[in-house]
């Protein structure tokens, strides 16, 4: 019991720090890379960040229960709740890792991302959401176009203001003639996606290992506590059945030691025989 308690205390600290790092990095990356939801078809894979954040949030009650269970080793409800939380968090992180795997496959095949961004560029002039997302991507990554800034001339006469480092304000005179960013956006986007996938995969894998150790220590605590409860339980008393019988006979009266005689006769004294 003492060894499992120390393991749970160590896992509680790792879960708290690792959950904060994983949830913070996933949320920050999702906010920074929100434009990929519009400029590519990787929205489902990037949406898997929600699973990472949910699994990281479950680390907070898991950490609290891990520090509470050693003080209540015989509480079956706490142990069962801890095992349930750890299992659900592991399932969420595993589902997130499966989505990240498909995202890594898309990163290894840049042609699919290239075609997706080209389709989005074709409707840039008609869809304000795609226009704002492309502008955010080019300003964030300091790039212009997909493979070259000349890709824009296939769909419009001038470059978007984001290629010159400006935000489009809806005015006709707000155009870009000479691009400030001559780097294409495909390679920086692939690097961002690769870093995103690698960092979340490493953090989620480490968290799954810590949760597996926590689950094993909790199961060991549950089993050892049940064994101790069974060993300390007192043995039941034997069953006793009362039988009604006839009451015992009363004892015979003792012979009197002194016998009173009549007034005319002498007093007789009965003495017990000597031994």
Mean pLDDT across 268-274: 49
Torsion angle defined by CA atoms of residues 104, 110, 113 and 118, in that order, rounded to the nearest 10 degrees: 170
Q: Do the Cβ atoms of 67 and 8 come closer than 8 Å? A: yes
Which of 253 and 216 is assigned the larger pLDDT?
Answer: 216
Low-confidence winner among 72-76, 142-146, 212-216 (lowest mean pLDDT) = 72-76
Whole-structure pTM over 0.85, yes or no? no
Which pair of structure tokens corresponds to residue 165? 């480092």
pLDDT digits (tens, 9 = 90+) for 40-99: 777 777 777 888 888 888 888 888 888 887 776 567 788 888 888 999 999 999 888 888
pLDDT digits (tens, 9 = 90+) for 107-139: 777 887 888 888 888 887 787 878 888 888 888
Q: Do the Cβ atoms of 163 and 176 come closer than 8 Å? A: yes
For residue 146, what pLDDT band results from cuts at 50, 70 and 90?
A: confident
Q: Residue 262 above 50 pLDDT?
A: no
Which pair of structure tokens corresponds to residue 234? 């007192």
CB hemisphere CA count around 74 (13 angstroms)? 7
Mean pLDDT across 259-264: 48
Q: Residue 263 above 60 pLDDT?
A: no
Which of 169 and 160 is assigned the larger pLDDT?
Answer: 160
Q: Residue 192 above 50 pLDDT?
A: yes
Q: Do the Cβ atoms of 112 and 106 come closer than 8 Å? A: yes
pLDDT at 7: 83
Fold adopted by 122-186: Cd81 Antigen, Extracellular Domain; Chain: A (1.10.1450)
pLDDT digits (tens, 9 = 90+) for 29-42: 888 777 777 667 77
Mean pLDDT across 201-227: 83
Q: How far apart are the C-alpha atoms of 187 and 106, rounded to whole Å?
A: 13
pLDDT at 165: 79
Mean pLDDT across 183-200: 86
């Amino acid at each position: 019991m003492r060894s499992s308690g120390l393991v749970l205390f160590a896992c509680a600290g790792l879960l708290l720090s690792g959950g904060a790092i994983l949830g913070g990095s996933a949320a920050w990356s999702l906010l920074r890379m929100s434009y990929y939801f519009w400029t590519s078809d990787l929205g489902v894979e990037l949406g898997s960040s929600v699973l990472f954040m949910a699994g990281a949030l479950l680390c907070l009650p898991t950490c609290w229960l891990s520090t509470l269970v050693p003080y209540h080793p015989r509480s079956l409800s706490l142990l069962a709740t801890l095992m349930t939380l750890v299992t659900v968090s592991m399932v969420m992180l595993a589902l997130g890792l499966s989505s990240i795997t498909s995202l890594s496959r898309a990163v290894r095949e840049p042609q699919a991302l290239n075609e997706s961004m080209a389709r989005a560029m074709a409707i840039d002039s008609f869809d304000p959401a795609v226009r704002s997302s492309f502008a955010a991507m080019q300003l964030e990554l300091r790039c212009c176009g997909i493979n070259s800034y000349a890709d824009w001339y296939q769909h419009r006469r001038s470059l978007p203001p984001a290629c010159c480092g400006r935000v489009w304000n809806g005015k006709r005179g707000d155009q870009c003639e000479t691009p400030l960013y001559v780097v294409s956006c495909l390679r920086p986007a692939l690097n961002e996606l690769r870093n995103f996938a690698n960092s979340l995969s490493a953090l989620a894998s480490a968290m799954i290992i810590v949760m597996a150790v926590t689950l094993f220590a909790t199961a060991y605590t549950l089993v050892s506590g049940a064994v101790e409860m069974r060993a300390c339980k007192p043995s039941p008393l034997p069953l006793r059945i009362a039988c009604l019988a006839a009451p015992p006979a009363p004892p015979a009266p003792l012979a009197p030691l002194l016998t009173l005689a009549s007034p005319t006769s002498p007093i007789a004294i009965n003495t017990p025989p000597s031994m």
